[in-house]
A and B are shown apart, each in its own frame.
Chain A
Amino acid sequence: MSDDLHMSDSEARVDAILRSMSEPDLELDTPPDSVWAGIESSLKNDTTADESLAPVIDLSSRRRLPLLIGAVAAALVLVAGLAVVLISDDSTGPVEFASAELEFVPDDPAFVELGAGRTAEVTLIGIDNAESVRVDTADLPVAPEGNDLEIWLIGVTDGEIEIIQTLGLVENPSSPGTFAVPDDFDRSTYDAVAVDISIEPHDGDEAHSGMSLVRGVLDA
């Protein structure tokens, strides 16, 4: 096959693995019931030991930076850019860089019924040297049949959208999700960074539908 796709190294790796596979590699075997039974019984045997060995860290209880909202936020982005450099050396755990309250975008009358008064909360966190966006969508409605809710990261300079990148789909609004910020998204290069949640019809078009539900600008 001489099809001409320019592939990155990691795509080429997946391509090579796929080429080494044949259809039987796709089949799955089912383990006998005794396997789960064994897991369950050894779990019961060391429940007490397990609790003391593996304390579970509840990430949601980690410290939160106070919300800073308003025009001041945009002005602080430059400062934040500097702060990131200083903070990101700390690789001991999640660090919160910024947060935003996403508010209903009222200029689309079609969604007043669905979205009026709804909010979502996002927090930009860093773990080691990678950034992620944690999104709490509990207040958002489920997307209408045949649609998804999709989260976008938008870089704005001089009031113009410089870049818009998808972070992913909201699978289930009732549980918070964490989304990796693309490596090539450097937020220090924009005046402001907004997070947007849109309604995306299942139409095969991966571009933003233009139908935003909520949006907000990340504070510093």
Chain B
Amino acid sequence: MTATLTRPDRQQHWWPRYDAIVSTAGVRIVASADAAFARGDDDALRKAYDEHGRLIYTFCSRALGPERANDVTQEVFLSAWKARDRFDPARGNLAAWLTGIAKNRIIDAVRAEKRHSDRRAAESTNELPMESEAESLGDKMLVADALRTLPERARTILTLHYFEDLSHPQIAERTQIPLGTVKSDIRRGLDRIKQHLEADHV
């Protein structure tokens, strides 16, 4: 049945239409650790904690302060583990799923505190900025997490662009990397980060 495919010559430009039609959208590599977590393998929770514990703890710590971060981090991993049959690695990665759970826990914790300290109940005007703050902090945490997983060259280029405010031509000049590569690395980098953020099932 493979006879229906024309074997290309390796020396030729392979499948010329490729560049026009190829799409990196939808590429998702399911890490085996994510699959192991969903299956509930014996040491999968420990591995997930080793892999994502710092991410979740840092998120909680920046939102709630280091003391309460300890408890909330524990709650996030315990509740994620109990609900692992709802985690589908095909639809999002574990980091994004855990970050979504952490965001909800952080919002709960802030609300609980408000109720405690202000018995007249929290005013709704105060809740909205708090939720969007947790949301945007969570987004930043995941973007930083994705950035760490990018190949060295793309990470360097994105860092120069976004944190040192260099333009594409300036980056090309500074790094001696062709301008086209700089642009495509930024584009692919954004794509990869975007996929890292997607977690449909939170």
Query: Number of contacting residues on A, CB 8 A?
Result: 88
Bound form: Cα–Cα A163–B1 in Å: 18
Residues of A within 8 A of B188 (CB): 206
Residues of A within 8 A of B26 (CB): 165, 167, 180-185
Interface residues on B, range: 35 or more
Do the beta carbons of B31 and A18 come within 8 Å of each other? Answer: no
Q: A-B contact count, CB below 8 Å?
A: 216
Q: Which residue of B is nearest A105, CB measured?
A: B2
Bound form: Cα–Cα A120–B29 in Å: 17
Chain B contact residues, majority secondary structure: helix
Do the beta carbons of A56 and B84 come within 8 Å of each other? Answer: yes
When each residue 9-30 of chain B gets 1 if its CB lies under 8 Å from chain A and 0 otherwise, what string results? 1100011011101111111111
Do the beta carbons of B58 and A206 come within 8 Å of each other? Answer: no
Do the beta carbons of B27 and A179 come within 8 Å of each other? Answer: yes
Residue A11, interface by CB 8 Å: yes
Residues of A within 8 A of B70 (CB): 31-32, 34-35, 38
Separation in Å of the B33 CB from the closest CB of chain A? 10
Known: A5-B183, A14-B194, A103-B2. A30 touches B57 (CB 8 A): yes
Q: Which residue of B is nearest A100, CB measured?
A: B1
Residue B128, interface by CB 8 Å: no
Residue B168, interface by CB 8 Å: yes
Separation in Å of the A80 CB from the closest CB of chain B? 15
Do the beta carbons of B85 and A1 come within 8 Å of each other? Answer: no
**Chain B stretch 125-172: residues in CB contact (< 8 A) with chain A:** 136, 139-141, 143-144, 147-148, 158, 161-163, 165, 167-168
Do the beta carbons of A206 and B194 come within 8 Å of each other? Answer: no
Do the beta carbons of A127 and B53 come within 8 Å of each other? Answer: no
Residue A115, interface by CB 8 Å: no
Separation in Å of the B22 CB from the closest CB of chain A? 6
Separation in Å of the B156 CB from the closest CB of chain A? 13
Bound form: Cα–Cα A28–B160 in Å: 20
Do the beta carbons of A56 and B85 come within 8 Å of each other? Answer: yes
Q: Which of B1, B21, B54, B194 contacts A10 (CB 8 A)?
A: B194
When each residue 174-188 of chain A gets 1 if its CB lies under 8 Å from chain B and 0 otherwise, what string results? 011111111111000
Residue A160, interface by CB 8 Å: yes
Instruction: Using A18-B158, A21-B140, A132-B90 as known contacts, list a sample of 18 further A-B pairs with CB atoms less than 8 Å apart, ordered by residue number in A.
Output: A11-B190, A17-B139, A17-B143, A19-B162, A26-B148, A29-B54, A31-B57, A31-B73, A39-B78, A56-B84, A159-B5, A159-B6, A165-B22, A167-B27, A183-B25, A185-B26, A207-B14, A217-B4
Q: Which chain A residues have a beta carbon within 8 Å of chain B's beta carbons?
A: 1-3, 5, 7, 10-11, 13-15, 17-23, 25-32, 34-36, 38-39, 42-43, 50, 53-58, 69-71, 73-74, 103, 105, 107, 127, 130, 132, 154, 156, 159-161, 163-169, 171-172, 175-185, 191-192, 194, 204, 206-211, 215-217
Q: Which chain B residues have a beta carbon within 8 Å of chain A's beta carbons?
A: 1-2, 4-10, 14-15, 17-19, 21-32, 35, 39-40, 45-46, 49, 53-55, 57-58, 61, 66, 69-71, 73-74, 77-78, 81-85, 88-91, 136, 139-141, 143-144, 147-148, 158, 161-163, 165, 167-168, 181, 183, 186-188, 190-191, 193-194, 197
Q: Provide a sorted-by-A list of 17 A–B residue pairs whose CB atoms are within 8 angstroms.
A: A11-B187, A14-B197, A29-B58, A31-B53, A31-B57, A39-B74, A42-B78, A127-B90, A156-B5, A159-B6, A161-B17, A175-B32, A178-B30, A207-B19, A208-B15, A210-B14, A216-B1
